[in-house]
């Protein structure tokens, strides 16, 4: 049995990716469950993963079981479990270096930059299991309001406010504390999405916005640059010129540019479908991760 240990049920990308991974394993016939404090399930996105109490899971852990975790703080608690331990790398903070140096821990990665970091700092070759966008974000021609801008104020609030103060004739829609299907509905109705979180590891929301047909204006991020291609499928702008870029995109003369960026963004997002992720994991299960299947 595979137990994927998660720290809580809050609205945080790492939680969704964990459930997504367990869903994928289940669909491929691998027994896996989420192990969560008090057995509580995250309910802000769609999933069919089973959830068990994390403490009970640790207590009944057997040598043939596997523990997966993504929060570096869980390492100390899980490293001495009798079975195998996998670290699902979703950020490349130096905090993770001791995990990467532990030869008994296998490492899963979700994107290229993390893969490279693990290769340069770790002792084991990582397995890239990928990441995917929920189908609920898939844009199917829903009506868009060209002067509506979606943003997530949780990180980069000042930058959002700076844009709002400068471009006041636009409707801004705050995405905060919403369930996934509501986020998808908002993104599909908006023309532009502001990705303002500096030092973002990957930025799944920006990728989801691309899938929803938004033109993404993003600050430079760390791992997410693998899908953000400035001027091709989005605009990437530093803090100083971020507002100007948004202003420029909103002008009537930029209608064709918005259309072109939107089309490219949707095309890019097709590289991150759940089916593609399933195929990738299936390939690993039939190859280097075949040991997972016997559990």
Partner 1 sequence: MNTLCAIIVSRGLDEMLRFCLKSFFESADQLYDSVEVIIADNSSPRPYTESSLSERRIRVLRFDVQTRFAVACNRCVKECETEKLIFLNNDVFLDRSSLNKMLQNSCRAGIGVVGSWLYFPDGRVQHRGVVFGHGDIGPYHLSRGQFLDPRSPFEEYQAVTGACLMVNRSLFNQLGGFNESYQFGLEDIDFCLRVRQYGYRVVCANAGRPMHFESFTPGRVELDGPSRQLFLEHWRGKYTIDG
60 binds partner 1 (CB under 8 A): no
Q: Rounded to whole angstroms, what are the CA distances from 279 to 63, 84, 130?
A: 28, 24, 10
Residue from 179, 225, 239, 257 in contact with partner 1 (CB under 8 A): 179
Q: Which is nearer to partner 1, 42 or 219 (CB)?
A: 42
Residue from 18, 24, 49, 207 in contact with partner 1 (CB under 8 A): 49
Residue from 31, 72, 83, 220 in contact with partner 1 (CB under 8 A): 31
Answer whether 135's CB lies under 8 Å from 117's CB.
no
Q: Which is nearer to partner 1, 40 or 229 (CB)?
A: 40
Q: Which stretch binds partner 1 (CB under 8 A): 38-46, 87-95, 103-111, 116-124?
A: 38-46
289 binds partner 1 (CB under 8 A): no
Helix, strand or coil for residue 89? strand
CA 22 vs. chain centroid, Å, equals 14
Q: How many CA within 13 A on the CB side of residue 71?
A: 18
Q: Which stretch binds partner 1 (CB under 8 A): 37-45, 129-137, 185-193, 279-287?
A: 37-45
Helix, strand or coil for residue 61? coil
Q: Which is nearer to partner 1, 2 or 250 (CB)?
A: 2
DSSP states of 140-177 as a string? -S---EEEEEEE-TTS-HHHHHHHHHH-TTSEEEE--S
Spatial distance between the Cα atoms of 218 and 237, rounded to a whole number of angstroms: 6
Of residues 124 through 163, those in contact with partner 1 by CB under 8 A are none
Task: Provide the mask over 190-209, with x wherever binding to partner 1 is found by CB under 8 A and - wherever it is not.
Answer: --------------------
Output the smallest distance, CB 3 to partner 1, in A. 9
Output the smallest distance, CB 214 to partner 1, in A. 24
Q: Which is nearer to partner 1, 32 or 96 (CB)?
A: 32
Answer whether 17's CB lies under 8 Å from 49's CB.
no
Spatial distance between the Cα atoms of 25 and 44, rounded to a whole number of angstroms: 20
Spatial distance between the Cα atoms of 30 and 57, rounded to a whole number of angstroms: 17
Answer whether 173's CB lies under 8 Å from 188's CB.
no
Give the total of residues touching partner 1 (CB under 8 A): 24
48 binds partner 1 (CB under 8 A): yes
Answer whether 133's CB lies under 8 Å from 184's CB.
no
Give the total residue count for the chain: 295
1 binds partner 1 (CB under 8 A): yes
Paired residues of 3 in beta bridges: 33, 67
178 binds partner 1 (CB under 8 A): no
Q: Which is nearer to partner 1, 23 or 74 (CB)?
A: 23
Residue from 7, 11, 12, 41 in contact with partner 1 (CB under 8 A): 41
Output the smallest distance, CB 231 to partner 1, in A. 38
Residues near partner 1 (CB under 8 A) are 1-2, 19, 26-27, 29-33, 39-43, 45-52, 179
């Amino acid at each position: 049995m595979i137990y994927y240990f998660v720290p809580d049920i809050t609205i945080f990308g790492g939680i969704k990716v964990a459930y997504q991974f367990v869903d994928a394993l289940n669909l491929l016939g691998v027994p896996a469950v989420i192990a969560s404090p008090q057995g509580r399930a995250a309910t802000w996105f769609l999933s069919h993963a089973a959830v068990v109490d994390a403490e009970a899971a640790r207590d009944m852990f057997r040598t043939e079981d596997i523990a997966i975790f993504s929060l570096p703080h869980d390492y100390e608690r899980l490293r001495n479990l009798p079975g195998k331990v996998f670290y699902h790398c979703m950020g490349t903070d130096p905090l993770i270096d001791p995990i990467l140096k532990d030869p008994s821990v296998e490492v899963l990665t979700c994107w290229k930059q993390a893969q490279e970091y693990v290769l340069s700092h770790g002792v084991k070759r990582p397995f890239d299991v990928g990441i995917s966008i929920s189908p609920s974000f898939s844009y199917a021609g829903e009506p868009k309001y060209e002067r509506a801008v979606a943003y997530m104020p949780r990180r980069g609030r000042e930058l959002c406010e700076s844009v709002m103060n400068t471009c006041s004739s636009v409707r801004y829609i705050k995405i905060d504390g919403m369930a996934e299907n509501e986020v998808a509905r908002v993104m599909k109705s908006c023309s532009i999405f502001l990705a303002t979180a500096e030092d973002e590891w990957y930025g799944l929301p920006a990728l989801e916005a691309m899938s929803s047909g938004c033109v993404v204006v993003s600050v430079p991020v760390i791992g997410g640059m693998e899908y953000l291609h400035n001027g091709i499928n989005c605009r990437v702008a530093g803090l100083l010129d971020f507002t100007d870029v948004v202003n420029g995109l909103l002008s009537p003369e930029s209608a064709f540019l918005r259309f072109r960026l939107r089309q490219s963004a949707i095309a890019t997002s097709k590289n991150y479908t759940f089916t593609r992720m399933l195929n990738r994991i299936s390939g690993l299960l039939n190859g280097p991760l075949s040991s997972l299947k016997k559990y």
